[in-house]
Structure 1
Amino acid sequence: MSQTARATVVADEFRITALDAPLGAEVHGLDLRQPPSPQQVLALRQGLREHHVLLFRGQSPTDRQYLDFVTLFGPVFQPPVDVPVLSSGADGKAPEIVKVANSEDGELGNAPLAAHIDHQWTPAPSASSFLQALQVPGSGGETLFTNLALAYDSLDAATREEIDGLRLITYNPFVRIRQNGGYGGAFHRYRTPDIEPVQGSEHPLVRTHPESGRRLLFLSAHTEVEIPGYDPARGAALIARLREHLARPELTYTHHWRVGDILWWDNQATLHARNGFPEDQQRRLQRISLGGGRPF
């Protein structure tokens, strides 16, 4: 075999290599237009458990191929019909593929998005999501991921003891958006008794990962929340302190998108955020979320 042939074989070898970051790994030697082997599916599952985010470069599947690959790892997430989420229709259902784009048929525009857990306000939040880049801006639009397992582990012992066993109500931001007539209204970061509650779900503030058993700080950066049974001032102060901890750069990986990238992230173990980008530049991505269980 020639040197060139040997190099090609090595370059195409299936492997998962960790990124130089607090989370994330890159998958090599896989073409999502072709069905992966059972061994590869199992390796990818294990890779996500270990690294929380997997990156696939240079991919160009059709929508059908994209869905076929993604659903090897679970069913597409569907919220209860009375619980609105991004792209919910009049019938309460969300599309299988959500268009995240600053165009007429897309969602979320070009503004920055604070670090969050998708569907955290639903009774059973999504387990993970895939995001495919079809078009990216020349600057901005990066996605930032926060390692929630590392965030919990790096808390001091007194804080871990304080929050273990606490519950957290996360209120539905899309209900507030409808009340406010759009994204431009006022939003609350902590609900106090003077604020009328909206639809939400109660989950552990520190949840256990259903596969790895890792303890996770299950808290978004800006979403309206409340610790039931806590004095409001004390609860708001605690949440603010935890959010300040989550913002530490040593917990975060920043992904700079290329066309053909697909990211798969564990929605149970990460936050994700987005940097803003120029309004006159196009960013088109496609997201598929997979169903999860009730946090414990």
Structure 2
Amino acid sequence: MPTLTLSEFKITELDAPLGAEVTGLDASQSVAPDVILQLKQALRDRHILIFKNQNLTDEQLLNFAFYFGSLYVPPDDVPVLASKPGVTPVVIPISNVDNGYTGSGEIPFHSDHLWTPYPSSGSLLYAIEVPPEGGDTYWLNLNLAYETLDESTKERIADLELITYNPFLQDPNGPRPKYRLDKSIPLISPVFPHPLVRTHPESGKKILYLSYSNEVEVVGLDPQEGAELIEQLREHLNQPRFYYQHKWSVGDIVYWDNQATLHYRQAFDPNYRRVMKRVSLAGSRPF
């Protein structure tokens, strides 16, 4: 099997708050060590990598993903996307057809698996079929969001912990609160507080570790005070200067650092097909 050499590929930073495009790399083949190390450094620096013009089987997608880490496996009692009793698929179909997941609606900015004890470090999403319009994905730079906070807010949130409640244990037809104000509601799953300001485990950068619309609670704060703080932080997050919009092409793989970004999906016409495959990689306890 041929091995990619360092001179055959290029990493080009996007003119955006995050992201780099990788060309001249065939992810179905073996990749040289120097190339993998450059890709890992680029991910630390730019938070998402976009690989163009790929053509992979599920096995080849997994083999490529495993250069960057081991498979993310959630606890049995903490469901995530595609969880079924005792098993979560290794390669998850992100598709609005053929029993895939996530449908065709809008998906607000979020970080995957934030409600679990050890959220995933990242994911690779591979585009097989894309709609002619809509269905774009946006990624948001959480380090930049943190760095642009005013100093008093940074001091206020420095040592706070945040609980993110599991959206897959909520009534899909019920209300979707963004903050847990009612303490009398019984818990139906374990909860795992994480730092509101996370330190990236490889770069050391500070991250505003907060999804945009999941139900959350700041540990130790009065509910009203906590709700107001989170609303303030979410208003800060909701700025175009923090994000990159990706229009998908068939054969794209986007590998994002789930520890340093949020992602959002545009709605698209459900009469169009959008077929993708996702592999998520194991992470560590946030600190």
1:29 aligns with 2:18: no
Q: 2:187 aligns with which of 179, 187, 197?
A: 197
Cα drift, residue 104 of structure 1: 3.2
1:155 aligns with 2:149: yes
Write the distance in 1 (CA, Å) between the matches of 2:99 and 2:55: 21
Match of 2:33 in 1: 38
Write the distance in 2 (CA, Å) between the matches of 1:32 and 1:257: 17
| Within-5 A mapping of 1:1-296 | 13-91=8-86, 93-176=87-170, 180=171, 183-192=172-181, 193-199=183-189, 200-296=191-287
Partner SS state of residue 276, structure 2: strand
| Alpha carbons 1:227, 1:235 under 8 Å: kept | yes
Greater per-residue helix proportion: 1
Match of 2:4 in 1: none
Compare 14-23 and 262-271 and name the one that shifted more: 14-23
Partner SS state of residue 41, structure 1: helix
Cα drift, residue 223 of structure 1: 0.5
Q: Please give the per-residue CA displacement for 1:26-81, whole angstroms capped at 9, x wherever unaligned.
A: 01110011111000110110010000000001000111111101011111100011
- Aligned-residue CA RMSD in angstroms? 1.0
Q: Give the ranges of 4+ consecutive aligned residues of structure 1 lying more than 3 Å apart after TM superposition.
A: 194-198
TM-score with structure 2 setting the length? 0.95
Cα drift, residue 197 of structure 1: 3.4
Write the distance in 1 (CA, Å) between the matches of 2:144 and 2:99: 37
Write the distance in 2 (CA, Å) between the matches of 1:139 and 1:28: 24
Write the distance in 1 (CA, Å) between the matches of 2:40 and 2:9: 14
AA aligned opposite 2:112: D
Write the distance in 2 (CA, Å) between the matches of 1:72 and 1:23: 22
| Alpha carbons 2:76, 2:85 under 8 Å: kept | no
Write the distance in 2 (CA, Å) between the matches of 1:31 and 1:163: 43
Partner SS state of residue 263, structure 2: strand
| Alpha carbons 1:116, 1:273 under 8 Å: kept | yes
Partner SS state of residue 143, structure 2: helix
In the alignment of these two chains, the number of paired residues is 279
Return 5+ residue gaps in structure 2 as ranges: 1-6
Partner SS state of residue 201, structure 1: coil
